Amino acid sequence: MEMEPILLLCLSLLAHGAETACREARFTGTVLPLMRVQQLVLPPTTHSPPPNRLRFRHDVSLTVPVAVGAPPQNVTMVLDTGSELSWLRCNGSRVPSAPPLQAPAAFNGSASSTYAAAHCSSPECQWRGRDLPVPPFCAGPPSNSCRVSLSYADASSADGILAADTFLLGGAPPVRALFGCVTSYSSATATNSSDSEAATGLLGMNRGSLSFVTQTATLRFAYCIAPGDGPGLLVLGGDGAALAPQLNYTPLIQISRPLPYFDRVAYSVQLEGIRVGAALLPIPKSVLAPDHTGAGQTMVDSGTQFTFLLADAYAPLKGEFLNQTSALLAPLGESEFVFQGAFDACFRASEARVAAASQMLPEVGLVLRGAEVAVGGEKLLYRVPGERRGEGGAEAVWCLTFGNSDMAGMSAYVIGHHHQQNVWVEYDLQNGRVGFAPARCDLATATQRLRARA
């Protein structure tokens, strides 16, 4: 996909702990705002996810604004590098339990002159992929539309028809892409937030045949996730070296033969070690590599909130982190407490105590081949909503933001977007690699140094 607008981006990069000066970079690409928002409430589903996909509860998602159709309809879509087929909630969508204020805006295909439903005789209707456990099938007369049924890692599902329309992202020319026009969906997620923002759909960004990046021939994209609720950036196209010259790249891992537990269209990288502070954990290399079934791959996923490790890697990480933080934080001391079914390294402390201790916590490094994802400070702990301890509820419950994959019923390592905050992450499909660079993602947008030129 050729991106026409010329944009200037000034991004504050952090190299070796020191902030470098911003510089203007001229590149051909499209830039969009990227937001972290609360998920929509939806009822449980009876669909089972594939065996290597995680049942987790998405509290926070990354969303981008997109205009679809002609005339353009403004929608908000979840950015998901772990999913393939994009989808939109279309007119007539059923959300049985969503409060009216939380119901997302629906896309109206009949109001778009460029909208077209895929016919059941089209080649696309015979397509089978990881996100479509039930192959697309013909709805029969009179519509003869191609029906789709999607299921996801968090036990959510969506049903509708396969369709195509034009997508406008930022200042780029419109591109035509297939997507699922969803009329029925359900989810196992839950939240009590009355002001949660809800997305209209999902933008599938993995390497599958029907993903948005594959359909639009996008060879490179990148994002920078700001901490908290601050806006970040999504960049489609352009020269990654011009934007972030200090990127460290790790190659994408590909296994040609089909394996039951290996997702061949995911952004899979090789995890080579884990460190806590200066201590490299004694984890055998075989534990960190996919086995003969494909179990044990490491995926970079913007659609997953936290990071998950298989038990043989999680256990030594938990033990070393508890050991190194024993003088800083008091363990929760409740063996039966497991947050979201996968997080059992938890503590009790006041907000002030955690704020004071956060800069003294040992950094956790995910050592990749040629790169490292370093997690430190506030990104290491998550305050569990609604859980208080101590006299008068003076202490909150905090959990380490690394979960146990085995406890969650999955067989993979996943690097979630919570640990990608303040990191420039580039997906270079042309060269088969993912790049990382520490960054001040809040400054990239807050200082308004991002602007377009004709």
Single-letter code of the amino acid located at 378: E
Picking from 218, 232, 90, the residue whose alpha carbon sits closest to that of residue 158 is: 90
Q: Domain 6-243: what homologous superfamily?
A: Acid Proteases (2.40.70.10)
| Three-state DSSP class for residue 122 | coil
Cα 84 from Cα 162, distance rounded (Å): 13
Half-sphere exposure of 352 (CA within 13 A, CB side): 1
Handedness of CA 155, 271, 297, 431 (dihedral sign): positive
What CA–CA distance (Å, rounded) separates 272 from 295?
15
CA separation for the pair 184, 276 (Å, rounded)? 45
**Cis previous bond, 33, omega within 30:** no
Model pTM score = 0.84
Angle at 381 between CA 342 and CA 83, to 5 degrees: 55
Q: Of 59, 80, 159, 428, which is the active-site residue?
A: 80
Of 301, 344, 428, 442, catalytic: 301
271: amino acid identity, one letter: L
Q: Would 6-243 and 248-428 be classified into the same CATH topology?
A: yes
What is the spatial distance between Cα 433 and Cα 426, in angstroms, rounded to a whole number? 8
pLDDT along the chain (454 residues), means of 10: 34 35 47 64 30 35 93 94 94 53 75 95 80 73 86 76 94 92 72 48 94 95 88 82 79 93 96 98 98 97 96 98 97 95 97 96 98 97 95 96 95 96 95 95 57 26
Rg (the chain; Cα; Å) = 22
**Residue 301 annotated in active site:** yes
Residues 6 or more apart whose Cβ sits within 8 Å of residue 182: 87, 88, 89, 90, 93, 150, 158, 159, 160, 201
Element (H, E) at 14: strand 12-15
- Residue 127, φ and ψ in degrees, nearest 5: -75, 145
The alpha carbon of 36 is separated from its chain's Cα centroid by a whole number of angstroms, namely 10
Which residues lie closer than 8 Å to 41 by C-beta, 6 or more apart? 97, 98, 99, 102, 189, 190, 191, 196
Residue closest to 346 by CA, chosen among 365, 324, 321, 364 = 321
Q: Residue for token digits 């003088």?
A: 327
Structural contact between residues 419 and 405, judged by C-beta atoms closer than 8 angstroms: no
E strands, 115-264, where?
A: 116-117, 134-138, 146-151, 157-168, 175-186, 201-204, 220-224, 232-237, 248-251
Please tell me the chain's helix, strand, coil percentages from 3-state DSSP, rounded to the nearest 5.
Answer: 15, 40, 45
Q: How far is residue 147's CA from residue 128's CA, in Å, rounded to a whole number? A: 12
pLDDT of residue 366: 99
Question: Position 262: which residue type?
Answer: F
**Number of residues that this document lists for the chain:** 454
Q: Is domain 248-428 classified as CATH 2.40.160.20? A: no
- Whether 312 is a known active-site residue: answer no
Which of 91, 97, 100 minimizes the C-alpha distance to 160? 91
Nearest to 412 by CA among 321, 283, 307: 307
Domain boundaries, the chain: 6-243, 248-428
pLDDT score of 33: 77
Cα separation of 416 and 52, whole Å?
Answer: 15
